[in-house]
Each structure stands twice: as C-alpha cells, then as structure tokens.
Amino acid sequence: MRLSKLARPDHSRSPDIGGYQLNESQQLWEWREKIANLYYEIRSGQDAVAAWRLWCDTRSSMFREHSQSPIEPADRKMYKGPTTFPYDPSLRVTVQLAPVMQERITVATGMDGDLSMHAFARTIGLEARLGGELNLYWIEGYGGGVFLPFADATSGTETYGGGRYLLDTIKGADLGVVRSDGTLVLDFNFSYFPSCAYSSRYVCPLAPSDNRLKGAVRAGERLFVSN
C-alpha cells in the first residue's frame, strides 16, 4: 500500500478574503475547515437524506470553485460535481465493533517520511449484507485519526478501482463516534473517491486486503456514466 505527499496544485485561482489573497497553506486550511463544518452539519442533522443532499451539493461546489479542488484547474469551469448513486437507506448500517490487535502498517510517503497506522477495531454486522467485515485503522503520529478505506465488487467497474473512503477524521470526514451502546453507524452513501481518482498529482493509500468486500456497495460516489 502506498501513500504519497500531497501534490502542490495550481493556485492561479486562489481564494481571497476581503481582498487578501490566501497562500497555499491557508487555502488548504480553509478547505479542511469547510469539510469539517460540512461533516458537523451531517452529524447534527436528523434527516439522513437531507444531510446526504447537503454533502453532494457542498462537495460539488467546492470541487468546482475552490483552489484546493483535486479537479484540474482547466476543467473546473465545466465540472458538474462528483457523480453518486441514488441514496440507499439499506446501506446505512449499524455495526458492532470488536477490538483487534494487528501489526502496524508503515507506508512510504516520499519526502514527507513514513506514515504508520494500525487496525484497532473490526466491524460486526456487514457480512450478511456485503460479504465481509471492515477494519477501522488508527493513523499514528501527531494527533492521529480514524481511517476507513474499503473496496467492493463495484471497484474498477462502477467505482474507482483503488476503492473509496468512508472515514478519514484527520481530513475532517467524520460521521460520528461509537455510541453508548457500543454501536457505530456506517452510512455508505457518504463513501467518496480519494483525490488520486481525479488527478495523477496525488498518490493515495488504498484499501488493504482486509478491507475488500465481496458484495457491491452501490452507494456514495461512483464513476461518471454518460447517457
């Protein structure tokens, strides 16, 4: 599994605040803040479908307009936004989590050094519906964060071949913590492509072999299909 440093995009359309042009780090900060605010709204909402529509609309706007968009600058004006499957309530699944003890995975990240992560929990409750269970990973290092990548039977045909992400709390993609009864809601309608699906400027961590489902997850982001 490989992970690269974040590539430096073209910032010829850098956003500004009150006439002040943001530098690259400030632009990325603003992007992360927008994502964190979006997921806060999702977690706060009572209507899952309305939250999903907000997610779709906000991501589409950010991908078209923000300088940190993974879409190439020349393509943004005509870009209509990520394509998704229709919302499927059956793929909003409540799972139990079982603790696991697995060896640390170390991933080379070029000039950024190595990234280390380890599985700390495995789902119970997906096998019957999706043909497998998933590990939740903890990315080590300063602060740390939860990471849930996966691949499924649609990978490489209907969705990006490298798989999709459901949780990446370091980047703000946080759908909520374990509830008091020990369960966790995984809403696969919020699954999304890593940045490397859009541009060769990025290399992304792909789903480990333990996180490859035999079933098809027809929810969340999908490949564009022309009519």
Per-residue pLDDT tens digits for 138-189: 998 888 999 999 999 999 999 999 999 999 999 999 999 889 898 999 999 9
Counted domains in the chain: 2
> Do 204 and 105 share a domain, yes or no?
yes
Q: What is the pLDDT of residue 104?
A: 87
> Do 165 and 203 share a domain, yes or no?
yes
* The pLDDT of residue 82 is above 90: yes
Query: Exposure of 36 by Cβ count < 10 A (0-12 exposed, 13-18 middle, 19+ buried)?
Result: middle
Asked whether residue 27 is assigned to any structural domain, the reply reads: yes
> Do 31 and 142 share a domain, yes or no?
no
Q: What is the pLDDT of residue 2?
A: 37
Q: Lowest mean pLDDT: which of 1-5, 15-19, 51-55, 195-199? A: 1-5
Residue with structure tokens 């706007």?
61
> Do 214 and 125 share a domain, yes or no?
yes
Query: Exposure of 16 by Cβ count < 10 A (0-12 exposed, 13-18 middle, 19+ buried)?
Result: exposed
> Do 119 and 202 share a domain, yes or no?
yes
Range of the domain at 209: 83-227
